[in-house]
Structure 1
Amino acid sequence: MKNFLLILAFGFTTISFAQDANAPQADVLFAVIDRVPIYLGCTGTDNEVLKKCMSENISAFINQHFNMKKMEALNLPPKIYRTAVQFKIDKYGNVVDVQASADRPEIEAEAERVVSNLPKMIPGEHRGKRVGVLYSLPIIFKIEPPKRTRKN
């Protein structure tokens, strides 16, 4: 049997952009949002504290719910696997528009399944209005080679 290690890194894109003050509010990147969405259980008013809390909670959720048994069933060769997941928390706090990119469609499907099941959150705000917030989330896991047992 193979040994598995699931590593989750939470990241976000740091692209800046200009918006017309009269234009309807478009989706905003996590890196530039005035007030980030709030993962239930996170408290405080400081955006950086809320970002950190959210990142930790999303990481814990994905580590708990990512089905490594499905990965084991694929008989993947030992190495580090990376999946890039993009999603949005809409202006109602729902996780929507989940898309993943990976070497194997089965890995993409599992990443999309787990991220789609994140709980509803308190939506983010930008310029005083609720907006959708865009995220980029790398999920990284390592499949270890089988451990050798010594025979005496």
Structure 2
Amino acid sequence: MELKKNPKADLTRNSGLYFVIGLVAVLALTWVAFEWKTYDDDNNFDYTMNVEDTLDEEVPMTEQIKTPPPPPPPAAPEIIEIVEDEEEVEETVIESTETSQEEEVIEVADVEVEEVEEDLDIPFAVIEDVPIFPGCENEKDKRACFNEMMQKHISKNFRYPEIAQEMGVQGRVNIMFVIQKDGSIGNVRMRGPDKNLEAEAARIIEKLPKMTPGKQRGRAVRVPFSIPITFKLQ
């Protein structure tokens, strides 16, 4: 015999309804909790605004501008009195400086003015009368003869320094000197790549003979002259 269950005794029959009712109740409690407001009983709130009193600030005092005093009035013009010229003025008599025929004229002797000779340096290229190298006295072109004799003198007395040869030193030495007013050689200066070459060039120039000095307007003057000496290893 099959057993049958009483529908009234089934507890799960209305479970869906109970779930909905419980869910609504929970939502209602949650809404009430969020909307619930409370107020303090202290009603002694001070509604006055905290405004600072700006009248206590220091107001800067305006500086008093002193105006300069007015300029003094212009002085009154002096009153010029016109006085009649009654006083007598003595006239100054200027005597003539011209001599009369009766006075004797003293003759003054001629004053000799000594000419001061100035030491002038006239370059060899522009001097009127070039210095005369010994042996060029009878040549017409003494300037060309001077240059030719200078080259011969250098070739004759040329000697390559041994120490410069060992070191392999070579180059050009520019040498300058002055032919003095007495024909001697002075003020020798040189510039080259090595001291040994410079010393040899100076030795050659110091062996130059005494010359006839150069002249400008008939007066003996100093004549600067420069010439290069080339030292070249073969």
TM-score, normalisation: structure 2? 0.47
Are the counterparts in 1 of residues 139 and 145 from structure 2 also a CA contact under 8 Å?
no
Summarize the alignment of residues 88-127 of structure 1 with structure 2, pairs less than 5 Å apart: 88-127=178-217
Output one character per residue of 1:114-147: Cα deviation in whole Å (capped at 9) or x when no partner.
1011000000001210001000111113212xxx
Count of paired positions: 118
Q: 2:145 aligns to what?
A: 53
* Mapped partners of 1:114, 1:97: distance in 2: 14
Are the counterparts in 2 of residues 86 and 137 from structure 1 also a CA contact under 8 Å?
yes
Whichever residue aligns with residue 56 of structure 1, its letter is E
Q: 1:84 aligns to what?
A: 174
Deviation at 1:76, TM superposition (A): 3.9
Deviation at 1:43, TM superposition (A): 2.9
Higher strand share: 1
Whichever residue aligns with residue 27 of structure 1, its letter is D
Summarize the alignment of residues 1-150 of structure 1 with structure 2, pairs less than 5 Å apart: 24-44=118-138, 46=140, 49-68=141-160, 70=161, 72-74=162-164, 75-77=166-168, 81-144=171-234
Deviation at 1:93, TM superposition (A): 0.3
Output one character per residue of 1:29-61: Cα deviation in whole Å (capped at 9) or x when no partner.
000100000001103474xx1111111111111
* Mapped partners of 1:59, 1:73: distance in 2: 24
Structure 2 runs not aligned, ≥5 long: 1-115
- Structure 1 pair 104–53 and aligned structure 2 pair: CA distance change class (3 A): same
Larger Rg: 2
Deviation at 1:25, TM superposition (A): 4.2
Identity fraction in percent: 35
* Mapped partners of 1:95, 1:55: distance in 2: 16
Structure 1 runs not aligned, ≥5 long: 1-21, 145-152
- Structure 1 pair 121–105 and aligned structure 2 pair: CA distance change class (3 A): same
SS at match of 1:143: coil
Of structures 1 and 2, the one scoring higher in RCO (CA 8 A, sep 6+) is 1
Whichever residue aligns with residue 124 of structure 2, its letter is F
Q: 2:5 aligns to what?
A: none
Q: CA RMSD in A?
A: 1.9
* Mapped partners of 2:119, 2:194: distance in 1: 36
